[in-house]
Amino acid sequence: MRVYMDNGATTRVTEPVMAAMQPYFCEIFGNPSSVHGFGREARKAVEAARGQVAKALGAQPREIYFTGCGTEADNWALRGAAYANIKKGRHIITTNFEHHAILHTCQQLEKEGFEVTYLPVDSEGLVTPEQLEAAIRPDTVLVSIMYANNEIGTIEPIPELAAVAKKHGVLFHTDAVQAIGHVEIDVQAQGIDLLSLSGHKFHAPKGIGALYIRQGVRIQRLMQGGAQERGQRPGTENLAGIVGLGKAIELATEDIPGKVAKMTAIRDHMIARIMDEIPYVKLNGHPTKRMCGNVNLSFYFIESESVLLHLDLRGIAASSGSACTSGSLDPSHVLLAIGVSHEHANGSLRLSLCEENTLEEADYVVDSLKEIVERLRDMSPLYSDFLKGVETVGTEEEACHI
Ligand code: PLP
């Protein structure tokens, strides 16, 4: 059996999305900026996709700008808003557990003379409106808080946070890369000024994203070049990718409550079985305010890299942190931010489901995990020390309560 449970890293392009894109390689291939018929056909497809994205977010088509990926949308939102508002101030607020597309951009802005406040999240990954209220200053120009965390799946109270920013006349950006299709988003009703998304997290291809910019919000552009995207994002449009993004977001947001109910049932079945059947394991993140497809666990006394390898041998794809950081030996900054120790962060595993995963697959993964964790613990000196009563990773009393 082959099971893909790494949908937080990327998703497969589904058949209807592929079918929608197919004509836009060999048949309809014009440059959307060309005035001839070939170009006009391509332009029509780009604008139809813009409409699909806008509809899915409760936005106007003219508020949607296509980008090369989620990272570009994040960079653009932050740098664009920071530099456009420099006369008002140079203070930005974010959290300490954002994706690196946000954190590294903030660090770069700090080097360029901006000041950034990193709000700490609590042990379940939540940041509160009160924390935000207390951090806002007269020179604050932008707040950027992710909709849902990519590693532990915690969903932030975005409408409440956006309301605080609005009260103080501060722009509110959210990185919704992981949230699209799993959470109901309405930029108007939720008071969002800027929102980043990325197609490959909801069954569109890699290399296409978008930034929503509320009408009237001025941000600087990142790149210089042609007049594409109403002069805001130069570069010939990724025609097929844009068509795929439009179709994928339409499908992803068709029946969110139905999808969430189905995925939550499978997720909770997995979590319940793992907590019942595998000792010394902790669920990272919030028990309920979490993405319907996210399971993040710390297995004590073993390294997640070994678990991943054994899962892979059984045809199961999972991850030990965000794909972008795996390969680095540093423990995940997200897990450290919620207070997980270095040891337990190194034993953490993320299983991220999509609506295509089944209960049968979930049971296969849990059965495999049980065997793998047991075998690895049998070989673990930490575990044998622990069994002998030697204090290694926390006390036995602590471990028994996790
Ligand atoms: N933001 C979040 C929360 C993500 O999970 C990711 C990708 O994993 C990104 C941004 C970056 O998106 P992209 O891979 O399209 O650059």
Please write the tens of the pLDDT for every residue from 92-139: 999 999 999 999 999 999 999 999 999 999 999 999 999 999 999 999
- The mean pLDDT value for 354-360 works out to 98
User: How many Å apart are CA 264 and CA 249, to the nearest integer?
Assistant: 20
Whether the pLDDT of residue 376 is over 80: the answer is yes
Report the SS3 class of residue 126: coil
Cα of 389 to ligand 1 centre, how many Å?
43
Report the pLDDT value the prediction gives residue 322, as an integer from 0 to 100: 46
Whether the pLDDT of residue 357 is over 50: the answer is yes
- The mean pLDDT value for 347-361 works out to 97
The rounded Cα 32 to chain-centroid distance in angstroms is 30
Summarised one tens digit per residue, pLDDT across range 14-32 is 999 999 999 999 999 999 9
Which member of 26, 69, 292, 324 is catalytic? 324
Q: Which of 100, 146, 156, 198 to mutate to test the pocket of ligand 1 (most atoms within 8 A of CB)?
A: 198
Report the pLDDT value the prediction gives residue 61, as an integer from 0 to 100: 98
Whether the pLDDT of residue 327 is over 60: the answer is no
| Residue 324 annotated to the active site | yes
Summarised one tens digit per residue, pLDDT across range 235-259 is 999 999 999 999 999 999 999 999 9
Whether the pLDDT of residue 260 is over 50: the answer is yes
Please give the DSSP secondary-structure letter assigned to residue 201.
G
Name the token pair of 191.
């008071």
- The mean pLDDT value for 378-393 works out to 83
Whether the pLDDT of residue 328 is over 70: the answer is no
The mean pLDDT value of the chain amounts to: 95
Whether the pLDDT of residue 398 is over 60: the answer is no
- The mean pLDDT value for 35-44 works out to 98
Distant-in-sequence, close-in-space partners of 383: CB < 8 Å, separation ≥ 6: 301, 302, 377
User: How many Å apart are CA 402 and CA 400, to the nearest integer?
Assistant: 6
pTM strictly above 0.85: yes
Report the pLDDT value the prediction gives residue 331, as an integer from 0 to 100: 86
Whether the pLDDT of residue 389 is over 90: the answer is no
Q: Where are the domains of the chain?
A: 3-8+255-399, 15-252
Cα of 250 to ligand 1 centre, how many Å?
20
Report the pLDDT value the prediction gives residue 10, as an integer from 0 to 100: 98
Distant-in-sequence, close-in-space partners of 197: CB < 8 Å, separation ≥ 6: 53, 70, 73, 176, 177, 180, 209, 210, 212, 249
Query: Which class would CATH give 15-252?
Result: alpha beta
Summarised one tens digit per residue, pLDDT across range 139-173 is 999 999 999 999 999 999 999 999 999 999 999 99
Whether the pLDDT of residue 396 is over 70: the answer is no
Summarised one tens digit per residue, pLDDT across range 50-93 is 999 999 999 999 999 999 999 999 999 999 999 999 999 999 99
Which segments of 120-215 are extended strands (E)?
Answer: 140-144, 171-175, 194-198, 209-213
In three-state form (DSSP H/G/I as H, E/B as E, the rest C), the secondary structure along 316-327 is EECECCCCCCEC
Q: Which of 178, 194, 195, 238 to mutate to test the pocket of ligand 1 (most atoms within 8 A of CB)?
A: 178
pLDDT band of residue 392 (cuts 50, 70, 90) is low
Return the CATH superfamily for domain 3-8+255-399.
Aspartate Aminotransferase, domain 1 (3.90.1150.10)
128-132, 270-274, 288-292, 389-393: least confident range: 389-393
pLDDT band of residue 399 (cuts 50, 70, 90) is very low
Q: Which residues line ligand 1 (CB under 6 A)?
A: 69-71, 74, 99, 101, 146, 150, 175, 177-178, 198, 209, 322, 324
Cα of 394 to ligand 1 centre, how many Å?
34
Whether the pLDDT of residue 394 is over 60: the answer is no
Whether the pLDDT of residue 352 is over 60: the answer is yes
Whether the pLDDT of residue 400 is over 80: the answer is no
Report the pLDDT value the prediction gives residue 283, as an integer from 0 to 100: 97
Whether the pLDDT of residue 397 is over 80: the answer is no
- The mean pLDDT value for 318-324 works out to 69
Helices H / strands E in the chain, number of each: 15, 12
Report the pLDDT value the prediction gives residue 343, as an integer from 0 to 100: 86
Name the token pair of 364.
């296969």
pLDDT band of residue 189 (cuts 50, 70, 90) is very high
